[in-house]
């Protein structure tokens, strides 16, 4: 009885060893990586076969490269072509033991894809004062997305997901006082059948130097970040103040912002009337400023003809004889204009007033001789 129980237990152990659990994963869309566990005996080796359905007639292919652990076969890496499309089909595995017993399993690899980490990650301090990171994908598939994570001075990571096929990322206005660290990983985009597995993170790249944080450093970093915002805010305030000044002071507005004439008005009529101010769309108070605020009397000017010296002498003699005889007692005005000031009695007459008197007297003598 005891011997029978012992045989039964041994049979159960053998049966349990004949049913290992096989797990498969598509690696970088290049090959299928499968491993199995559950074998209690390290000396048990299996032969691995696999194929993609829905072609049942397709023969199983034996493993191309086995994975060994302590001289025991524990897995297989089998390359396949067009895995980006083939992974949507059912993948069947078969383990064959030395006793010709086989175990088959079906696997669904649509969402079981793990890409290799991105490669050639570099950082560049560009001329636009930003940090630019560049990298390449480990596979040439067109539907790969990236996710980056970065941190400052070894603090908490910040993750950002990028658009499809994007292979660069920038950090705006970094400070050389801080140490920037960045890593990248990749995955299959949803339009090509999203995977549940992200790639491993790439090796990190660093920029800047970690220095002791103090109030001065924090203030410098804060100012470098807020400088563009402060400039924009200051410019907006200046523009608003200038607009307010122009609205309240219309004369300054006319000087700083000249108003273009309205071509719709009749230019010929405006020029004919002489009211050029009507052409400008300005207020009535400004128009009144263009008008003269003073007045003056109009002066009439009379013109006299010049006579020769001999005629002047004879006229003067005749005039003196007439005055002595009392034939003419009228006064003569020497002013040439109505608005000129008459010379005073005590003020000696200059050459100009003498010429005017002589001219007027001569003209009067000639007229009196004509009457005689």
244 shares its domain with 264: no
DSSP string, 316-352: HHHHHHHHHHTS--------SBTTSPPPPSSSPP-HH
In a domain, 2, yes or no: no
283 shares its domain with 227: no
Q: What is the predicted pLDDT for the residue at 372?
A: 45
20 shares its domain with 86: yes
58 shares its domain with 139: no
Give the span between the Cα atoms of 89 and 120, in whole angstroms. 33
Contacts of 65 (CB under 8 A, 6+ apart): 76, 77, 78
Q: What is the pLDDT of residues 140-196, one digit of tens each?
A: 888 999 999 999 999 999 999 999 989 999 999 899 889 999 999 999 998 888 899
Length of the chain: 372
DSSP summary character for residue 301: B
106 shares its domain with 123: no
202 shares its domain with 218: no
In a domain, 3, yes or no: no
59 shares its domain with 28: yes
Instruction: Tell me the residue range of the domain where 139 lies.
Output: 115-207
In a domain, 21, yes or no: yes
Given 110, 133, 148, the domain boundary residue is 110
Longest CA span, the chain: 195
Question: At 168, which CATH number?
Answer: 2.60.40.10
Q: What is the predicted pLDDT for the residue at 266?
A: 56
121 shares its domain with 159: yes
In a domain, 160, yes or no: yes
Strand partners, 79: 31
Give the span between the Cα atoms of 224 and 219, in whole angstroms. 9
pTM: 0.53
C-alpha distances (whole Å) from 324 to each of 46, 278, 316, 319, 347 are 168, 67, 13, 9, 26
Smallest CA-to-CA distance from 91 within 80, 101, 102, 100 is with 80
Contacts of 166 (CB under 8 A, 6+ apart): 145, 146
In a domain, 332, yes or no: no
Give the span between the Cα atoms of 198 and 115, in whole angstroms. 7
Contacts 24+ apart (CB under 8 A), 98-102: 98/45, 101/18
Q: What is the predicted pLDDT for the residue at 45?
A: 83
In a domain, 361, yes or no: no
Buried b / exposed e across 210-245, counting CB within 10 Å, b at 16+? Answer: eeeeeeeeeeebeeeeeeeeeeeeeeeeeeeeeeee
201 shares its domain with 226: no
For 365, phi then psi, to 5°, come to: -65, -40
Give the span between the Cα atoms of 229 and 209, in whole angstroms. 26
CB distance 31 to 79 below 8 Å: yes
Q: What is the pLDDT of residues 198-245, one digit of tens each?
A: 999 999 999 998 755 444 444 445 555 678 888 888 889 988 888 777
Q: Could you list the pLDDT tens digit for every one of the 372 residues in the chain?
A: 444 444 445 444 444 455 688 999 999 999 999 998 754 455 678 889 999 886 656 788 899 999 998 888 899 999 988 888 888 889 999 988 876 678 889 999 999 999 999 999 999 998 888 999 999 999 988 899 999 999 999 999 999 999 998 999 999 989 988 999 999 999 999 888 889 999 999 999 999 987 554 444 444 455 556 788 888 888 899 888 887 777 776 666 666 666 666 555 556 666 666 566 666 666 666 666 666 665 666 666 676 666 665 555 555 555 555 544 444 444 444 444 454 444 444 444 444 444 444 444 444 444 444 444
Split into its structural domains, the chain has a count of 4
Given 207, 238, 268, the domain boundary residue is 207
Q: How many C-beta atoms surround the C-beta of residue 309 within 10 A?
A: 7
CB distance 137 to 118 below 8 Å: yes
In a domain, 1, yes or no: no
Q: What is the predicted pLDDT for the residue at 31?
A: 94
In a domain, 37, yes or no: yes
Q: What is the predicted pLDDT for the residue at 294?
A: 59
52 shares its domain with 90: yes
66 shares its domain with 32: yes
32 shares its domain with 100: yes
Q: How many C-beta atoms surround the C-beta of residue 109 within 10 A?
A: 20
Give the span between the Cα atoms of 17 and 21, in whole angstroms. 10
Q: Around 123, how many Cα atoms within 13 Å sit in the side-chain half-sphere?
A: 20
């Amino acid at each position: 009885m005891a011997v029978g129980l012992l045989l039964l237990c041994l049979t159960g152990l053998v049966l349990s060893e004949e049913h290992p659990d096989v797990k498969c994963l598509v690696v970088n869309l290049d090959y299928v990586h499968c491993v199995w566990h559950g074998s209690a005996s390290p000396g048990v080796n299996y032969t691995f076969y696999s194929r993609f359905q829905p072609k049942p007639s397709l023969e199983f292919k034996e493993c191309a490269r086995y994975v060994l652990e302590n001289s025991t076969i524990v897995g297989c890496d089998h390359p396949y072509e067009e895995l980006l499309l083939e992974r949507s089909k059912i993948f069947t595995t078969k383990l064959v033991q030395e006793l010709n017993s086989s175990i088959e399993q079906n696997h669904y690899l649509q969402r079981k894809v793990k890409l290799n980490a991105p490669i050639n990650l570099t950082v560049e301090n560009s001329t636009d004062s930003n940090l630019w990171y560049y990298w390449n994908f480990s596979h040439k598939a067109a539907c790969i997305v990236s996710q980056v994570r970065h941190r400052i001075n070894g603090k908490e990571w910040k993750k950002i997901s990028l658009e499809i096929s994007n292979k660069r990322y920038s950090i705006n206005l970094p400070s050389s006082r801080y140490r920037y660290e960045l890593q990248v990983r990749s995955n299959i985009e949803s339009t090509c059948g999203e995977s549940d597995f992200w790639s491993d993170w790439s090796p990190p790249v660093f920029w800047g130097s970690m220095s002791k944080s103090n109030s001065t450093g924090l203030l410098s970093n804060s100012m470098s970040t807020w400088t563009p915002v402060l400039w924009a805010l200051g410019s907006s305030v200046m523009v608003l103040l200038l607009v307010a000044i122009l609205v309240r002071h219309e004369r300054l507005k006319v000087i700083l912002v000249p108003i273009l004439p309205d071509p719709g008005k009749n230019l010929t009529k405006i020029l004919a009337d002489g009211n050029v101010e009507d052409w400008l769309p300005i207020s009535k108070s400004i128009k009144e400023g263009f008008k003269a605020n003073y007045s003056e009397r109009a002066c009439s000017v009379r013109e006299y003809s010049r006579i020769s010296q001999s005629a002047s002498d004879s006229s003067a003699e005749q005039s003196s004889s007439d005055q002595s005889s009392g034939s003419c007692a009228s006064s003569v005005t020497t002013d040439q204009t109505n608005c000129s000031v008459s010379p005073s009695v005590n003020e000696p007459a200059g050459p100009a007033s003498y010429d005017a008197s002589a001219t007027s007297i001569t003209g009067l003598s000639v007229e009196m001789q004509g009457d005689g």
